[in-house]
Amino acid sequence: MRRLWAWLLGKAEPLAVSEADWRQALSLPLFVGLTAEERERLLALAQRLVADKTFSGAAGLQVDGRMVAIIAAQAALPILKLGEGWYAGWQEIVIYPGEFVPERDEVDEAGVVHRVRRPLSGEAWQGGPLVLSWGDVEESGHCEGYNVVIHEFAHKLDMMNGAVDGLPRLASTLAVEAWAAAFSPAYDDFCRRVDAGESTELDPYASESPAEFFAVLSEYFFEWPEPLQAAYPAVYQEMQRFYRQDPLARLKGQPHDLAASR
């Protein structure tokens, strides 16, 4: 798969990312409240990601150092306490100017195959590339509950256990049981509310599947944790244990008003 993408898109040379690029990336509201030590570690992880991955533009997009820094810095936040090994096993990050429209075959309940074209802001392939819309990347990182970078990289974390099912690789059977005890009833409740047409502070797209539930809630966990913690405190606690971070405490009392920014 990686060789196919490299052949289609052209192997990109490593991009130079300047200190100014990194400063701009780290100035996003998403990183407010990090300690000096955490910011240093985040930068080191982001720089390692740039060294390890190939960033390729698609549909005529010319990728520059600023784009790479903004994506890499946001991608580094979920693994700040986990380590770079969680993004191992794949190579390519492909960036489109905006939403992209791949053609896919889908099988309906009657077994009929349909060729569909659906606009996407991002996608992650198991063992293959991660694809992002730059237009959506620019909307991310502002503590408004939306972050396509964290969403797609959360899918990559999810894939580390061999399945895309909303259950990342955890340390023990007890941890898996605690995760399921928090996530399963929360997902069922959220799907019920969405199906009933109730208004939810969390993005209804989270009801698409357990995998999307985990990815969307990861966005809220880092971007705007208040509604997640209020709606599903047990889920927030499990995500806090998994990511080994507490954005609710980190962002509390910071200069930007999260509720107003929403």
Domains of the chain are 2-261 (3.40.390.10)
Judge if pTM exceeds 0.85: yes
Q: Are 89 and 127 in contact (CB under 8 A)?
A: yes
DSSP 120: B
Would you give per-residue pLDDT tens digits along the chain (262 residues)? Answer: 444 444 344 444 567 899 999 999 999 999 999 999 999 999 999 999 999 999 999 999 999 999 999 999 999 999 999 999 999 999 999 999 987 666 554 544 554 443 344 667 889 988 889 999 999 999 999 999 999 999 999 999 999 988 899 999 998 999 999 999 999 999 999 999 999 999 999 999 999 999 999 999 999 999 999 999 999 999 999 999 999 999 999 988 654 444 333 2
Q: Coil, strand, or helix at residue 202?
A: coil
SS3 93: strand
- Both tokens of 126, joined, read 């198991």
Which amino acid, 261?
S
- The DSSP-derived string for 70-82 is HHHHHHHGGGTTT
